[in-house]
Structure 1
Amino acid sequence: MAENLCEGNKMNEEIHLNLECTLKSLADAEREIGELKMVVGLMLAKLPTNEREAVINELRSWGFPEKANEFDQFVHPRPAR
């Protein structure tokens, strides 16, 4: 699907998403964000290695170097501390 939505560094198709969550506190928001990051990371980890690398490179090229570094741990797992 991503290959249909992205061309180079620009979106070439408009899509509409309807996603909701109920937040009662900042802690709820933090938990929801953390869970979403884990879902994205686990989906990323399921891709073939070259596709995982491509996603990280795209994040950098789209101006999200911090997120690329954060999600890179799903591409290049680090030893437990």
Structure 2
Amino acid sequence: MSREKHHLNVSCEATNLQEINREIGQLKMVIGFMLAKFSPEQKQAVINELNGWGLPNSAEEFDQFVNPRPPR
């Protein structure tokens, strides 16, 4: 199997912590929406991998897209 080389140029023009926080929040939502399109098995596999990589906070955060919670 040959490996292709790819170059990505991704940027964020934030001038303060509030803008950085907004950008990170938007990115998390995009990832969550993409995760929601996976099969139930694939969704759970992602959560398990996050936990396996020592990222329990991220696993809990993205688990909301896997196992929606009722409104409070």
The number of aligned residues is: 68
Q: Provide structure 1 residue ranges, at least 5 long, that are not aligned to the other structure.
A: 1-13
Residue 73 of structure 1 corresponds to which residue in structure 2?
64
Q: Provide structure 2 residue ranges, at least 5 long, that are not aligned to the other structure.
A: none
Determine which structure has the larger strand proportion and give its number.
1
Residue 55 of structure 2 corresponds to which residue in structure 1?
64
CA RMSD of aligned residues (A): 1.5
TM-score, with structure 1 as normaliser: 0.77
d(CA) in 2 for partners of 1:72 and 1:16?
Answer: 31
Answer with 1 or 2: which has the greater Rg.
2
Q: Which runs of 4+ in 1 moved over 6 A?
A: none
1:18 Cα deviation from its structure 2 partner: 2.5
